[in-house]
Amino acid sequence: MGWRPPERNTPLCVAPRPEAWLEKYVARMVERLRDTIVSDDSEGEPPVLPVLNRCKPNGTTAEVDFKTTRPCYMTQRSHVNQVVADMMSWEGSAAFRLEQGQAVKWYVRNDHLGLVIPYEYLGVDHSYEPDFLVRLASDVILVLEVKGFEDNQTKAKHDAAKRWVMAVNNWGQLGRWDFHVCRNPLLLGKELLFLKSA
């Protein structure tokens, strides 16, 4: 029984399979690297553009019509006549500040509005619905998220929203857009004044 050479087409060594507990970290690194890649205008690469719904490329508040058992309050600065009063939540506090904000022309809560931003987290497709759309006095439309804590999935949502806003601005058919995360609704009025002047 001597030594026998390996059969043809048999690999001499097989790369070890990554440990199962490392796969989610590898997936997250790949996503972060992919999300930072942007087109280089100076090299003539085409800009990132939004992928539109062929049947309905533009959304509208005119179609917001739903029933709820939650308490609501009347609005003055929203295209939708009532806002669900989740007053125990940060979104309710933000809606109160938006209603009184000096920098706000109008706003709408993204409740049954249909604004959904796709994103991927750990290899799984998800949908992100921002909290509000706000038209500032400077005519910038602000995608506003009210969030106190940010984990990795929340960061993936916010990165997707920033890319989405960049794509809409590259398209240029809907005016200028911006994305902002409010960490404290008590400071929202000051933040909006700053964003309006920026």
What residue spans define the domains of the chain?
Answer: 87-198
Please give the angle made by the CA atoms of 89, 107 and 141, to the nearest 5 degrees: 115
Nearest to 164 by CA among 197, 120, 118: 118
Give the whole-angstrom CA distance, residue 107 versus residue 95. 9
Give the whole-angstrom CA distance, residue 192 versus residue 152. 26
Give the whole-angstrom CA distance, residue 34 versus residue 32. 5
State pTM to two decimals.
0.75
Looking at domain 87-198, does it have CATH number 1.10.10? no
Q: Could you list the pLDDT tens digit for every one of the 198 residues in the chain?
A: 555 655 656 555 555 565 666 777 777 777 777 777 777 777 778 788 877 777 777 776 667 677 777 777 777 777 777 777 665 677 778 888 888 888 999 888 888 777 889 988 888 889 999 999 999 999 999 999 998 788 888 999 999 999 999 999 999 988 999 999 999 988 998 998 898 887
8 A C-beta contact, residue 92 and residue 109: no
Helix (H) or strand (E) holding 189: helix 188-197
